[in-house]
A = this chain, B = another copy of it.
Amino acid sequence: MALIVVGSMAFDAIETPFGKSNKIVGGAATYIAWSASNFTRPVKQISVVGGDFPQDELDMLAARGVQMEGVQIKKDKKSFFWSGRYHMDMNTRDTLETQLNVLGEFEPVVPESYQGADILMLGNLSPAVQMSVIEQLGKRPKLTVLDTMNFWMETALPDLEKVLKHVDVLLVNDSEARQLSAQYSLVRAAKEIMKMGPKYLVIKKGEHGALLFHADHVFFAPALPLEDVFDPTGAGDTFAGGFAGYLDSTKDFSFEGMKSAIIVGSAIASFCVEKFGTTRLKELKRQEIDERIQQFVELVNFDISLVNK
């Protein structure tokens, strides 16, 4: 079993109503790798960083079974940088600054040793870069999962539509689902999006949980009600990593199997927001994850016989 992860490894600077971070390590593939490696190893990482990216951050991931052969290090260039400010509701944010740096000219190369992986997890990146990885794979993975965002819908929709034809599971948030489908109702949006390629659609609603659509079926996973959300950055990527990593460990790609993976992804994402950046993910123990999964079970569990009587 193996999972290929594609995405940015980068720096973020974050402001929330509760605090402000310095320039810290972030990026979709960073969060995905930290999250997925709780459930499956090796994780076969594909990314690009500049010479400014801390070697010890790469070493920490390598020590967790994240293979770095596919991570290009551009010694004389700078890593991708994003800075943003969250609003009080923590579901919306303003981008303050974006420096593409090495990401602007990223040409991913899939190492030969990565071929044959069961799952391809395409983190949020330009659809052309995502497509390039798909085309370099000798055979289609058993499951291709793609995360994207409104920016690509606005600037690269034809590319995005092309890559969606190769995708089994699409992860987007509610406003992105509405934008991509031009439908306000999420049920209608899901129907439209599943015509574009993905057989499964996960709509992430932040503090309001996540919906999984497949054909005429729908499953709802709540978010854990939290006393404090400290920093939502990376929560979606952490969800994606938990989702894909867990599926790689079970190989159950049925609707039932995906339900479990969404609960697991939601559970681990609920840790991510407790501290700035990847801090909480780095200190996380497997037992904590299992206890939180149990909290999710209790959160939605009710006695069906009481309702049906």
Contacts and interface: CB of A to CB of B under 8 A. Distances in A.
A170 to B, nearest CB: 17
Q: Which of A184, A188, A229, A302 has the most CB of B within 10 A?
A: A302
Contact of A263 (B257, B260, B290, B302): B302
B228 A185 contact: yes
A222 B256 CA distance: 18
Interface in A111-144: none
A300 B300 contact: yes
A86 interface: no
B184 A88 contact: yes
A186 B187 CA distance: 27
Given A250-B306, A307-B264, A299 B218 contact: yes
Interface stretch (A1-9, A26-34, A40-48, A203-211): A203-211
Contacts of A299: 218-220
A209 to B, nearest CB: 7
Copies of this protein chain in the complex: 2
A8 to B, nearest CB: 30
Contacts of A60: none
Contacts of A252: 306
Given A264-B307, A303-B256, A304-B297, A209 B225 contact: no
B225 A222 contact: no
Contacts of A226: 185, 187
Interface in A45-101: 88
A240 interface: no
Q: Which of A185, A209, A300, A309 has the most CB of B within 10 A?
A: A300
Interface string A272-303: 00000000000000000010011001011011
Interface in A223-242: 225-229
A155 interface: no
Contact residue range for chain A? 35 or more
Nearest to A183: B227
Contacts of A185: 226-229
Interface string A188-222: 10000000000000000100110100000011101
Contacts of A166: none
A130 B87 CA distance: 37
A80 to B, nearest CB: 31
A186 B184 CA distance: 26
A267 B79 CA distance: 50
A208 B211 contact: no
B222 A186 contact: no
Q: Which of A187, A225, A303, A309 has the most CB of B within 10 A?
A: A225
Contacts of A222: 209, 220, 222, 300
16 contacts: A185-B229, A187-B225, A208-B209, A211-B225, A219-B299, A219-B302, A220-B225, A220-B299, A222-B222, A250-B309, A259-B306, A260-B306, A260-B307, A263-B302, A263-B307, A293-B308
